[in-house]
Structure 1
Amino acid sequence: MATDIHVLHVDDDPDLAAVTAEFLERDDRFTVETALTAAEGLECLTQAVDGVISDYDMPGMNGLEFLEAVRETYPDLPFLLFTGKGSEEVASEALTLGATDYLQKAAGTDQYELLANRVSRAVGQFRAERELERKNELLEKTQDLADVGAWEYDPQEEAAYFTDHVYEIYGVDRSHDPEPESDIRQFYHPADQATVRTAVARALEDGEPYDIEVRITAADGTEKWVRTRADPQFEDGACQRVRGTIRDITERKERERERERQNGRLDEFVTVVSHDLRNPLRTLSASLDLLETDADSLERCHRAVARMERLIDDLVRLARHGETELAPAPAHLPALARECARTTGLSDEALSVTTDATVVADEARLRHLFENLFANSIEHGSPAPDSQASESAPDRDGQPVSLTLGRLDDGFYVADDGSGIPTADRDRVFRVGYSTGEEGTGFGLNIVRQVVEAHGWEIRVTESDGGGARFDITGVEFADNSARASGSAGG
């Protein structure tokens, strides 16, 4: 029931207007404001007015003209024509123009009670409709903010209803006729259709609610993840309706395929770092055994420890902040290569550097590349008795392998004079787990490839001039204008 009803009464008879106000205000719900002309009534009309009572026959502007003027600004405000002109034609025209009700003036006081009831009912309905509109607007805004649509299915009538946001999620307009099975076939991913059908069947047959996350393809081809929930309602053992929601959760899912990817990269990085730590640890272990007889071994120990500290810093930084970004900067190839050679236990005499180039690269990752290439040459330089080496590979007779770092037109190469890599294996050497050594982990050259790909470079395996392995890294940016060193294309 409506309460605190503010009524504007327009009537050119001041005595009748006063009497009407007096009778209405006997009901504590009503507050009546009086105007003696339609023009005055328009001036009094504000948002605070809950309903209008108007006479018909007034000078200047009659009741119907006043109604038309009111409807221009307040199309839904309750308007009751209260007139002594008992014409069906006037009543019909009033209702056509949008009057809420029509009441003919009569003798006696009963008419005022009837008038109060008519106004109260009209205002109550108006307020209820306005509240429903407000709630619907809030619901629509909430659904828009939450990216949620609501739906209902009536299995008895085989009729379905969608809110606007459901149509948006499916990428269709309101001409689309909702129907569970056809919607499943049209929108849901083939691998998820059985899941949806099973959930719908259990809801309709057993009254079992569901809450599932599945994939859809919208009408425009956009692939999405949605979370759809349903609550079946039963009466007398039969499902009368199923009400539910559907929400676009694509962004959340992408953040999750992203978290999984980062976790995978983290696991991969930990594997890489643990592998790389083995080389300086082995150097450190061997050098410690020689401390009493070789003073130079102490320096190698310090270098190995420093390298391990840098690797651990890389790992901690990644664990705290996720996948590390490249930090390209000028890196002097000769200095970096010689430092990495010492870290891997390669003597200064065993590494020949024929370039003075400076490249633009992430120095930490470039260290990974050199250390793993050098370690690979040291580990596989001398073939095992039953291994297959290149036909031109020399018989090393236990001699340590020698390496060369040289420049290419658009990059650099690392070549050794070891046993080489058979042609049939050159496409496989960069795979994780591939190794020809009994103690090899199969990570070293895979790490090299990762470093190359992270920089946008390319790597190719060929045979060196000495019959060993040669790795050409191309697509490299140089930070200097140094001329290509003589013999840079050789091995």
Structure 2
Amino acid sequence: MAAGMEILHVDDEPGFAEMASEFLTRRDDRFTVHTTTNPEEAMSYLRDNQVDCVVSDHDMPGKNGIEFLEAVREDYPDLPFILFTGKGSEEVASDAISAGVTDYLQKEGGTSQYAVLANRIVNAVEQTRARRRVDETEQKLTQLAEKTDDILYMFSADWSELLFVNSAFEDIWGLPTDELEADATAFMEHVHPEDRDDVQQAMNQVSAGTVGDVEYRVIRPDGQQRWVRADSKPVLDADGNVDRIVGFVRDITDRKAHERELREERAFVEQTLDALDDIFLVFDTEFRLQRWNEQVLDVTGSAADDVTGAKPTAFVPEDQRAEVSDALDAVLETGTATVQVDVLAADGERVPYEFVLTRLVDDEGDDLGFASIGRDISGKHAREAELERAHDLLGQAKEIAGVGGWELDTETMEMYWTDHLYDLLGVDCERAPSLDESLDVYHEDDREIVEDALHRALEDGESFDVTVRLRRPDGELRWVRSQGRPVVEDGEVVSVRGAVQDVTVQQTRERELEQARQDYETLFNGMNDMAWVMDTDGQFVAANDAAVEKTGYSRDELLSMSPADIDASHGESEVLELIERLPEDETQVFETVHETSDGREIPVEISSSVVSYRGEAAALSIARDITDRKHREQRLEQFASVVSHDLRNPLAVAKGRVKLVRADRDSENLEQAAESLARMDGLIEDLLTLARKGEAVRDWEPVELGDLIEEAWRHVATADATLRVETTRRILADRSRLQQLVENLLANATEHGGSDVTVTVGDLADGFYVEDDGAGIPTGDDVDVFEAGYSEDPDGTGFGLSIVEQVAEAHGWRVEATEGDGGARFEVTGVESDA
């Protein structure tokens, strides 16, 4: 048995509320309707009773429908709430939506409105009940999917349909998920052409029922290339067939770049070491040989398999192995050691070598083993310089290219530069420079900085790292990062070693960024509208001069506040929710009221968008003072309120009562009364439309014109009329107001063209037309079909075409009435298409 539905109906017209209750319970026997005439009584009823849906009027004494809705939402955020009111307007609807209304329904003249209301109630209650059942599960799944940087996906078994994908797809592919939802294989268009066969093969493998993984490149729309790894798994049904495919894609771009750098560095080091005439050896912590250069195999005549894992003593005669062991003890204790021993050559000869051993440690100081370079010293006596260079090669094998090195001997005050430092400074390396010459390369304004830093390194043992300018001999000015580190032995600085790195590009970029920041501040503070930037916690982090001037707060005061502190319409939680819901790729526009430091209230229109501020996501809000516009709207609202509330509610009660009486008995007088009431209702409807539709359009959106015409045709009394839609155009318009325009044109055609009229809607170069084959347009100099009140139909209000003209003008369009093929033709031009 279907569950009952408890309805609370609030309306300050008791007669209307009772009549609505009677129609609703007749419509659906699941309804139990309780009526009350004021929100306070309704809130008391809600606290004491279980209610499934609230239906409320808007214009009521004391507290209106929006205020009542806000009060309900504070205690019952998920309770369905339908605003059923005669005071219908875009502003009321907008306020209701902002306050969290479930549905919005405008009171009409006939009793059919109660069937619509009943359907809205059933839909709202059933949807709420269903949503409560799935919310918890859906929330957990969504949170899980959105907490990962990986793309999580689910496809049909043949990859033809996307069943699920999380937002990480947009971050990695650079495409909106809408494209993937429209075409499940759209992601393949951005797979690197050389990798598509591998990807397709992996997809086919998973569709066949086995796990598949593949690494490939993705080319984003901005041209950026990313490396990804995809792991897919088939999900089988009860019969063992592949039902769907699940998996994840992980961005491995950084890993690939690191692997490439390691390969390049390894290749460079290996090529360099193999080019040496010296022997190069690397042993692990167990003294097993792990790495060597080609010279080891050439000298010893060994094969690679023979030397792998060999001990350091394997290459020397037995009578010298004790010396090798002593050198190993020394390198473990001090970090370095030198030993001269013979190496057993391939021909059996003993070749004298001098080995320099260096202990290897990781970044945390843990032992990795040791490395050794051995140089043939047979017949040679002065090898110190060459061995030192070999030692430097071992120590600098991992240095980044583009950095020049230097060393200052504190005893002799002699300066040594590496070859690359000579290149960087643009000078010849004919001789070693003096200390003064080394300092003279720096810009005259920066030399003192380097000189002071070097002095502290020599006197106090302080390391330094400064960014300064130097001037090359050709006059070119370069920015460099100059670093120095003292070498201390027995408490004394014996030398200072350092590096010089060219950072000109980086410094130029930083200066350009600083100029851009200054330009931004000039534009920001030059605006006439108030503007501020908020962080994701809802705190002001920037405010322009107009915000300071118009709110009356100082800049420091504003930067200690949040939007809720100056917003008279939104609380802190509402402001945070607005920020969280702010779309990333479009502007959010809404109205609110700001309160100044002296208590004045300023109505404003807020335009907010997501920006990057100082490297962090933030919200930029621009507030425009709309005080004058609000005054005009209030005067218009006063007129609409009188018509809507003071006339329509009594009229609705009268029509309802006539309907109830006619259900029991009928008479010609009752029929005439009903027709007169309907006539009055039509006049009121058109007057309200004219009063409330005059504003320029602000809410533009793409609209499929053909679909909207078909929808409007269903709302027009068409009898035996025929509609021909000859347009596939997509235009930019306010959908609701465009539908009013189209419905009025279609209604005009069916009312004046005869019961079997044919209405055609087609394209113009910059718009569209509505044409019928009926009686045509009346002629005469004094005939203006768009004039308010003009009508040839005694039952018409005369406002239909006037509303058409008004809606067109609100869009910036033109509408003209002309003669068609035997009938009337209305052309709407100046319409912008959405390509």
Q: TM-score range by the shorter chain?
A: 0.3 to 0.5
Higher strand share: 2
Which structure is richer in relative contact order (CA contacts within 8 A, separation 6 or more)? 1
The TM-score normalised by the length of structure 1 is 0.45
